[in-house]
Structure 1
Amino acid sequence: MHTFVILSTLVAFLLEGANTELFTSNAHLQTALYAERDIAGLLRNYVDQEEMRLQKLRQLADDYSEHSNQALANIDKYLGNPINAFLLIKKFTLDWDRDIIPVINNSSAEYLNQELDIVRSDLPTYEDLKGAAAALMRLQDTYQLDTSSVAHGKLAGVTSPSLSAEECFELGRLSYNDGDFYHTKLWMDQALDDYRVKKLERSDAIKSGALDIGRPSGRVKGELGDSQGQEEEEEMDEEFETLYWGPDGSKAQVLDYLAFSHYKLGDLPVALELTNELLTLDPTHERANNNKRYFEKMLQDDENREPLSEEKKRTLYQTNRDDYRNSEEFLTYEALCRGEEIMPIKDRHKLTCRYVTNNHPLLLLQPAKEEEMHLDPWIVVYHDVMSDEEIRQIKQLATPRLNRATVQNAKTGELETANYRISKSAWLRGEDHPVVKKMNDRMEAITGLNLETAEELQIANYGLGGHYEPHFDFARKEEKDAFKSLGTGNRIATFLNYMSDVEAGGATVFPYLGLKLYPKKGDSAFWYNLYKTGDGIFSTRHAACPVLVGVKWVANKWLHERGQEFKRPCGLEPDD
């Protein structure tokens, strides 16, 4: 682009010169020959740059084609890996603006730009990038993932792409911009550690001769005593910095973010140490100099001089979260998601499995396979409720209709999105397709309840780190308007169909029961949300754990009170 502008300016200058009658003087005309020679050089340079640009575009096209073909060969496995999902989003946000647009952005590419603008409406945005980063932090917290392991491609036993220092830096910067200094520290530390290891490996390789970087006479660092040698060393170090961090990052930037994050987390000694290291790289750094004076003044207080204990570090992590996410309920939810046994299942020895027909024609030849998971409240899993073909058809019906999942505002009764529920959902009616009606009929046969007043079948797809934090399916007494518009009363029961296996994470957990239900394709979970009196069963509070690796599809059916008067009549006791 710059070459084209220079060329256009030069041609305009020469044309203007022609109007000053260069032909009247050979001396002046001679300058035109020099200009013509320079134009030829500029044109060759422009052509060379264009050829290089086209070669880059050709390589990008080949890389994109190869990558997409590999990913589309097993799209669920690919998108089910959160690192793959993050890098895909990053590719079309940060990398797109930095690496792609400059290559294609020239005067001859105007039509291409218009076409790309149309395509970009289907590509991730910067908001998607922020969401992907937040999802990775959520997975890291919930499953207590080691930052180094994640960065080096070790994710719950599944091999994942490694993250470069530049990508770790971007995760840290996204956390910083979100005011999340705890994760900023984790990812900036990782970026810095990886940088130091790679630089040491590079230095050792140069000294051993394993890496030829073009030094004259094969000399190594430290053997160049003159100013030219020093300049050469600095130039090569600068080249390594750019190669390692990418065009938008540097070690100094990492130290800047890291020092401030340590300060915000209350670790002043380390904040000062990192600030001093930053000032060795850039002694004129205004903010670092101001911070140094401030940190030194703060450290005059004896309390701030003490290094942080592990217990204090844990406390700082907890202060990075809101009160609810430090509550016993939320910590229990996370522990269950990790598969921890936090409490024994009450009356586990009384749990049974059985075949159920309910004397219903649909179940006489193929009874429901019922497995009790908990007795009070009664929670069961029915095996092999859905076939693979039925699941395929329902997914196909739902996919074009998927929108961001919503929750009901307890005060207004209105539906709205929330950061504690990350999934996309669609609603299917029995009239939409015979397979949906077939599913409704089957659920009615299994439960023995009336589905005429039930909500439509909700299909939900959980994406990167998709989750739904602890919640009730029923409306509490103070939530009087929650289902008022439906006119069918409260949600009496939940029928949850699992339409996919999940490699890691994604369990349905009940924090007050210590119960974990792991998704298994074709299986369904069922429980009552209300006692026979209509009061809510509060111990049915449950959550969908973040999907760590894999793709999670579910089909929810919420059954309501109206129509159940003779199917499930009131009992004699309040807690029946």
Structure 2
Amino acid sequence: MELIWYSVFLLWTLVGADVSTSGYKLTVVCLKEGQLLEVLDRYVSTTLGNSSNVDESIQSFLGKVKEERSKIKDINEWIGHPINAYHLVKRTAKDWRSVQQSINCSTCVPTIASEEFHSSWKQIIEEEDIWTSSEDIVIALQGLARLIEMYDLEFTALMSGTILNISSSPLTNDDAINIATHLEKEPKITWIKALLDTEGITEKEALLYDLAMTYHMVGKSRTALDILTDLQKISNRSMTGMIKIVKQAAEKPEDIEPHKGLLTRNEDLNIAYKKLCQGKVQKTKAASVLRCYNKATRIPYYTGKEEVLNAVPRISQFHDTISDEEILQILDASKEQCNCFISNITIIIIRLSFLFLNSCLQLTPAVVVKRSGLSKAEYRTRSGETSWIHPAEKISIKLEKRIELLTGLDRLTAEYFEIVNYGLGGHYLRHYDALDLQNMKNLNRDYTYRNRIATWMFYLSSVEAGGATVFPLLNVKIPPIKNSAVFWYNLLPSGERDDRSQHASCPRTYGVQMGYYEVDT
């Protein structure tokens, strides 16, 4: 058998266009903000020292940012809190730009202090071409919404800035309203109802209308009709057309308990996925035969600490399979690769080779394989960024040999190591690692394709909460444990895809995660 590598480096913090999907990039932004804070402090001190005026909003902003950043003891731990990460993205994408525009406005008289600020700003922002944008704010909100939907996070605690009893700066009412726009179904109903009871909400009419539409979408049209009818009495907005549509749906008998008992297989699997992510794993009789042991290899003195998580199909977690030093070597190698994607081992390598040429850590938005080829993943399917490591790297060769010993698979061919960086709410919905070869062949008829027999995944860090790998059809949940690795087969002995190998990555709740994959073909 031949190996194809596919390694994944999972960092946790925030989600977004270029920055928010990447924990690494968000860390860079956080460090850059520290530099900007020094520049802004110097500008304010110099200007006031020259008996000139500084806008009160700028002085107030400077004080607030100083106070916020005084809470940072460990940058990774601080960014690991989803709400800290969201505040950082919103502040750098919006508030800092307002400050910069205020100091360097077109009608302002230039001073030595303002010119120095502008020069420093330009240098800091353009370095590595990493900074936040308005799109990062949107996808950060999507990440928070995903955590709420997956883990049923409580409204009051989140508004106070608390997750897992760890506090951050509170969310504003506007933040909560923006989060609501990215929620769906029952979680959205629960969130809006709590929001409507919050003091100081000024957009109640729009929220009530949104609540009514959500009730209608989930089949509770009678409740939606009651809300719209009451809302029409106090609103200047005409709702006659919508009330008519909702009333027609409300009059249908099946609307009493819509779709009860008629869940599709896809919906059943989504429920199983959510329960596993929440830790609701049902004990089975098969679990009693699982075991941990030292797995022998062809080298007498080298064994692997294997924990069998599922017997058929085999899913195992190997403990202490990669050292801290090797983890650092992986990260260093990922930073050094550039313009190296020339392999034509598989279509994934061919298609991805053009995406990773101009980044320091070479992290770009993650992709998924579709019938039309590779495309940027939609945020509800997969959120994260990817990079690659050349198989000729010493660390790649070393780890390939180790996996060969532990699995018995031959490493004749290998994909480049893939590194995926997950941000706030970073996840990957249910999917198969095995490829749909017929559709892949249709993309390039002159190419020979091999399927992925098995997957090997290193965990490069442990996490405080979330980030597990789950197999909904097998009732298996695998926690990310630093220095361990997970191994499973994607194909049946016949060469056909094993549908039981469908797996998913749970959204990260708190912390920083790194992982590393190999796929065997």
Shared fold (TM-score greater than 0.5)?
Answer: yes
When residues 524 and 486 of structure 1 are mapped into structure 2, their CA distance, relative to the original with a 3 A threshold, is farther
Query: What's the counterpart of residue 81 of structure 1?
Result: 81
Map 1:60-139 onto structure 2 (within 5 A). 60-61=61-62, 63-64=64-65, 67-68=68-69, 70-71=71-72, 73-96=73-96, 101-102=101-102, 105=105, 106-108=107-109, 111=115, 112=117, 116=121, 119=125, 122-139=130-147
Counterpart position of 1:289: 236
**Structure 1: how far apart are the matches of 2:504 and 2:424?**
16
Find the partner of 1:334 among 274, 277, 281: 274
Q: How far did 1:86 drift?
A: 1.4
How far apart, in 2, do the equivalents of 1:484 and 1:395 lie?
A: 36
The question of whether the paired residues in 2 share the 8 Å contact of 1:346 and 1:374 is answered with no
Where does residue 359 of structure 1 map in the other structure?
Answer: 298
Q: Displacement, 1:65?
A: 5.2
Q: Deviation of residue 60 (structure 1)?
A: 3.6
Q: Which amino acid aligns with 1:261?
A: D
Shift in alpha-carbon separation, 1:450–1:303, aligned structure 2, 3 A: closer
Amino acid at match of 2:289: K
Distance 1:384 1:299 in 2: 58
1:122-179 CA-partner distances (Å, limit 9, x unpaired): 321111111111111111111122222221233234334321223223334x549xxx
Higher relative contact order (CA 8 A, sep 6+): 2
Out of 406, 412, 417, the residue aligned to residue 452 of structure 1 is 412
Query: What residue is the counterpart of 2:204 in the other structure?
Result: 255
Instruction: Report the structure, 1 or 2, having the larger helix content.
Output: 1
How far apart are the structure 2 equivalents of 1:295 and 1:414?
A: 40
Task: Tell whether the 8 Å contact from 1:258 to 1:271 is kept in structure 2 after alignment.
Answer: no
Q: Distance in 1 between matches of 2:311 and 2:48?
A: 77
Matched residue, 1:545: 506
Shift, 1:510, TM fit: 0.4
Q: CA RMSD in A?
A: 3.7
Indicate whether 1:534 and 2:495 are aligned: yes
CA distance in 1, matches of 2:265, 2:134: 26
Residues 301-316 of structure 1: pairs in structure 2 closer than 5 A: 303=250
Which region of structure 1 is more displaced relative to structure 2, 292-301 or 111-120? 292-301
In the aligned structure 2, how far is the partner of 1:325 from the partner of 1:512? 11
| TM-score after normalising by structure 2 | 0.72
CA distance in 2, matches of 1:70, 1:271: 45
Separation of aligned partners in 2, 1:82 and 1:383: 29
Paired residue for 1:382, among 289, 294, 318?
318
The runs of at least 4 aligned residues of structure 1 exceeding 6 Å deviation read 181-184, 292-302, 323-326, 482-486
Which deviates more from structure 2 when the two are superposed, residues 103-112 or residues 345-354? 103-112
Shift in Å, 1:528: 1.3
Q: Which amino acid aligns with 2:490?
A: N
Instruction: Could you tell me which runs of 5 or more consecutive residues in structure 1 were left unpaired when the two chains were aligned.
Output: 1-45, 197-250, 280-287, 316-322, 561-576
Q: What is aligned with 1:269? A: 226
CA distance 1:103–1:293, change in 2 (3 Å) = farther
Distance in 2, Cα, partners of 1:485 & 1:525? 34
**Counterpart position of 1:407:** 368
Mapped pair 1:156 → 2:164: yes
Instruction: Describe the shift of the 1:114–1:371 C-alpha distance in structure 2 as closer, same or farther (beyond 3 A).
Output: same
Distance 1:302 1:55 in 2: 55
| Larger gyration radius, structure 1 or structure 2 | 1
Unaligned runs of 5+ in 2: 1-46, 217-223, 336-360
Specify the code of the residue in structure 2 equivalent to 1:289: N
2:430 alignment partner, one of 445, 470, 483: 470
Question: What SS class does the counterpart of residue 440 from structure 1 fall into?
Answer: helix
TM normalised by structure 1 equals: 0.65
More moved, 343-352 vs 511-520: 343-352
- What do the CA deviations read for 1:222-254 (whole angstroms, capped 9, x no partner)? xxxxxxxxxxxxxxxxxxxxxxxxxxxxx44x1
Mapped to 1, the partners of 2:378 and 2:161 lie a distance apart of 30
Contact in 2 for aligned 1:500/1:521 (Cα 8 Å): yes
How many residues are paired up?
Answer: 428
